[in-house]
Chains A and B, each alone.
Chain A
Amino acid sequence: MVKYVIIGCSAGAVGAVEAIRELDPVGDIAVISEEPIPAYSRPMIGKYLSGEVNLENMIFPSKNFWEKQKVQLFLGKKAVKLDLTRKEIELEDAEKIGFDKLLIATGSKPIIPNIEGVTKKGAYTFTRIADAEHIRETVHAIKAQKAVVVGVGLIGITVTEALAKLGLKVTLIGRRDRVLNQVLDQKAAEILEEAMQKEGVCIVKGRTVQRILGRKDNDDMVGGVLLDDGSAIECDLVVFAVGVVPRTELVINTKLKINNGVLTDRFMQTNILDVYACGDVAETYDFVVGKQRVLALWPLARISGRVAGYNMAGLKLEYPGGASMTALNHFGVPIISVGLTTQSGDSEGYETLVFHDQKRRIYRKIMLKSGKIMGMTLVGDVERAGVIFHLMKNKVNVEDFKHKLIADNFSLASLPETLRKQLIWEVYNEFHYSPK
């Protein structure tokens, strides 16, 4: 019997182990992962594909982390069965591991569209380092010239940039009217699209891929894609980045409650005592919309993992919540977008403040409701983001100084004195996600 068992070895597990060890330096911890290597920075696989970083730079959070934290790793071993009554995990090789406390941190898996030709050689998804390796091998082996990326979310943009850096001609296809439609409005998306087009990326909007076509000389290999308007685009490889879903297959036939993801309370516990969930696989609290939902984001996986870890080790600590929060720096365009950002106009009591300087490629938008910030989008000039994020997280009423938020010189110095001093005091003394 192992005191703490964690399934999944990525950001959530890292956060949990850090927290458990702060409170319990000796209790046994076992981490089980299907992947053959311990945690690595998954968001960096784009830079790995383009050859900008090597695996050593991606080890997360640091070298020797698991040894230092005295964690027993079960790598390359898939957990196949969870027995909640016997408190036991069964691995693929039939080995059984009993647990006292369990954390489900299995993350998410990419959606593979159910279309003809998807099994052809040269069709990929892009969430693991192995995906980046396979794509790189293919690019070199067949001297690929053209790629199609399907999906305009963060993963789609990331892999597009990596392939473009490798010298491929990339066509990005999305069924929406703009890139990053879930986090950017029309104007913000336009700035990024322009930068992408300048780098030679062709963006096809409002279209879906109906079928993957084979090569003329070898039908088992990707030769192109057929779109819903009947047009065909030639390519040597295709990457699907049409979203991820929680990896719930291990828990789907148990008594654990699942909606879109595994349901958790504010202490990251599931409906079953001693069983916790965090990160992409779970539904966790969103402080903007005020309810639990799936937020598949790396920083929130580590933070919710930490909160789970504290609670597993016996300290009752509430998760303050996360939000839809995206920071990206692709194609030379810095963008930060948090909370509600895509609503248009002043509908449903929302007030929108906008600053747009086309020449400098700067765009700022703040969404307010009853004097409180519900969302922000910053493009081009993002250094103020953290201060606004903090006002948002603490639900500060900004009515009296709201216009300053989008002004050129907004900073901490623009806040009213009491608020500013309180904020700095909090920085020194408060704990957002840990007790200490």
Chain B
Amino acid sequence: MKRVHVNEELCMGCGLCEVYCAVQHSKSKDLIKAFKRETPKPVSRIKLLQEKPISFPVQCKSCRDPLCVSACLSGAMHVDEKTGSVIHDEERCIGCLTCVMVCPIGAVRINPNNSEAVIKCDLCQGSEIPACVKFCPNEALTLEEG
């Protein structure tokens, strides 16, 4: 199973991971257009955490025993049978926040544009390397197996 690993020591706290995550999940997928022209504003699915001097982004790690899946009220949060990744089906989500209550690393985020569904890292489905990993200027983020 693929996971984004974070090397805290290498993270500079620049926040580009958030920027490119938002772009990747925007309508235009274009940096300028996404932030200048799109309404609602694109939202990042990962959050850069900072408590200086420490900084690192947190993204869903697809726990081996995901509590969010067990706790989900609607069945939106589920484990992909093929990849083992935790998948969130936003269409089925009702925004009840139960997953937010139990995620041990706080990887599920509130969508400021839609209170009816939460958001989380989807490993940039469809692309080989997630945007946060691809655009991290200091190689603090890496995509690894297991």
Please tell me the number of chain A residues within 8 Å of chain B, measured between CB atoms: 54
Chain B residues, Cβ within 8 Å of A226: none
From 389 to 436 in chain A, residues with beta carbon under 8 angstroms from any chain B beta carbon are 389-390, 404, 409, 411-414, 417, 423-424, 426-434, 436
Q: Are B51 and A431 in contact (CB under 8 A)?
A: no
B15 CB-CB contact with A under 8 Å: no
Annotate B45-63 by CB proximity to A: 1 below 8 A, 0 otherwise: 0010111001110100101
With A41-B74, A44-B74 known as contacts, the answer to whether A385 contacts B100 (CB < 8 A) is yes
Q: Are A327 and B61 in contact (CB under 8 A)?
A: no
Annotate B98-125 by CB proximity to A: 1 below 8 A, 0 otherwise: 1011111111111000011000000000
Q: Are A43 and B73 in contact (CB under 8 A)?
A: yes
With A386-B105, A433-B65 known as contacts, the answer to whether A411 contacts B51 (CB < 8 A) is yes
A77–B105 alpha-carbon span in the complex (Å): 43
Q: Are B55 and A430 in contact (CB under 8 A)?
A: no
- Of all chain A residues, the one with the shortest Cβ separation from B56 is A413
A43–B71 alpha-carbon span in the complex (Å): 12
Q: Which residues of A contact B (CB under 8 A)?
A: 15, 41, 43-44, 47, 52-53, 57-62, 298-299, 302-303, 306, 325, 327-329, 332, 334-336, 338, 382-387, 389-390, 404, 409, 411-414, 417, 423-424, 426-434, 436
Could you tell me the distance in whole angstroms from the C-beta of A422 to the nearest C-beta in chain B? Answer: 11
A336–B100 alpha-carbon span in the complex (Å): 9
A409–B51 alpha-carbon span in the complex (Å): 8
Q: Which residues of B contact A (CB under 8 A)?
A: 3, 47, 49-51, 54-56, 58, 61, 63-65, 67, 70-75, 78, 91-92, 94-98, 100-110, 115-116
Q: Are B51 and A43 in contact (CB under 8 A)?
A: no
Could you tell me the distance in whole angstroms from the C-beta of A402 to the nearest C-beta in chain B? Answer: 15
A428–B145 alpha-carbon span in the complex (Å): 12
A328 CB contact (under 8 Å) in B58, B71, B97, B108: B97
A62–B51 alpha-carbon span in the complex (Å): 40
A241–B56 alpha-carbon span in the complex (Å): 45
Q: Are A41 and B75 in contact (CB under 8 A)?
A: yes
- Of all chain A residues, the one with the shortest Cβ separation from B11 is A413
Could you tell me the distance in whole angstroms from the C-beta of A428 to the nearest C-beta in chain B? Answer: 6
A44 CB contact (under 8 Å) in B73, B91, B105: B73
Q: Are A44 and B94 in contact (CB under 8 A)?
A: yes
Residue of A298, A383, A423 most packed against chain B (CB within 10 A): A383
Q: Are A412 and B106 in contact (CB under 8 A)?
A: yes
- Of all chain B residues, the one with the shortest Cβ separation from A62 is B75
Could you tell me the distance in whole angstroms from the C-beta of B25 to the nearest C-beta in chain A? Answer: 18
- Of all chain B residues, the one with the shortest Cβ separation from A421 is B8
Could you tell me the distance in whole angstroms from the C-beta of A284 to the nearest C-beta in chain B? Answer: 14
Could you tell me the distance in whole angstroms from the C-beta of B13 to the nearest C-beta in chain A? Answer: 10
Q: Are B50 and A413 in contact (CB under 8 A)?
A: yes
Residue of A306, A329, A338, A423 most packed against chain B (CB within 10 A): A329
Q: Are A411 and B58 in contact (CB under 8 A)?
A: yes
A338 CB contact (under 8 Å) in B70, B95, B101, B106: B101
Chain B residues, Cβ within 8 Å of A412: 49, 58, 105-106
Residue of A52, A302, A428 most packed against chain B (CB within 10 A): A428
- Of all chain B residues, the one with the shortest Cβ separation from A390 is B104
A41–B75 alpha-carbon span in the complex (Å): 8
Given contacts A329-B115, A428-B63, A432-B67, 12 further A-B contacts (CB under 8 A): A303-B71, A327-B101, A336-B100, A383-B100, A383-B109, A389-B102, A413-B49, A413-B55, A413-B56, A423-B104, A426-B104, A428-B64
